[in-house]
C-alpha cells in the first residue's frame, strides 16, 4: 500500500530521478513531469497528496505553480525545491501556502524528512 501520492515537477532530469529514487523505495507513489503545464494536466486527471516543484523553470515558475495549486487543489501540500534560495522567495512561498522550501542540492534524508512532515501535517488538517 502506498504511503501517499507525490508529483515531482522539475525541468532537470537528475532532480526528478533523484526524488523518485529516494521516495519510491520508502513506499510513496511518485509521478514525474518536467514542467508546470504537464503537472497541472496530471493534477486534473489524478489525485495527489503532495507536489514537489522546482522554483526556477522556463515558461512557468514554482511560485505560479504553487499559487495555482493552492487555488484549485488547496488540500495538496507543496514543497518548493530550488538552487536559488533567497529569504524573500522563501517567505513569499510560505505566505502563498508552501509547506516547506528545500535548497538544492538536498540530501535524501532531508527530502524524506520534509516529505514525512508534510504528510503528518496533511493528516492533522
Neighbours of 71 (CB within 10 A): 10
pLDDT tens digits along 47-96? 999 999 999 999 999 999 999 999 999 999 999 998 877 778 888 898 99
pLDDT number for residue 90: 83
Neighbours of 14 (CB within 10 A): 9
* Domain 4-120, architecture per CATH: 3-Layer(aba) Sandwich (3.40)
Element (H, E) at 77: strand 77-82
pLDDT number for residue 89: 85
Cα angle 80, 109, 106 (rounded to 5 degrees) comes to: 45
Amino acid at each position: 500500500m502506498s504511503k501517499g501520492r507525490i508529483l515531482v515537477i522539475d525541468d532537470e532530469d537528475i532532480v526528478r530521478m533523484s526524488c523518485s529514487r529516494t521516495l519510491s523505495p520508502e513506499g510513496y507513489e511518485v509521478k514525474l513531469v518536467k514542467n508546470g503545464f504537464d503537472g497541472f494536466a496530471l493534477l486534473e486527471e489524478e489525485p495527489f497528496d503532495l507536489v514537489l516543484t522546482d522554483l526556477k523553470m522556463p515558461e512557468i515558475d514554482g511560485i505560479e505553480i504553487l499559487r495555482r495549486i493552492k487555488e484549485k487543489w488547496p488540500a495538496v501540500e507543496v514543497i518548493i525545491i530550488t538552487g536559488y534560495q533567497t529569504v524573500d522567495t522563501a517567505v513569499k512561498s510560505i505566505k502563498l501556502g508552501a509547506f516547506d522550501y528545500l535548497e538544492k542540492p538536498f540530501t535524501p534524508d532531508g527530502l524524506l524528512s520534509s516529505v514525512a512532515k508534510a504528510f503528518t501535517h496533511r493528516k492533522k488538517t
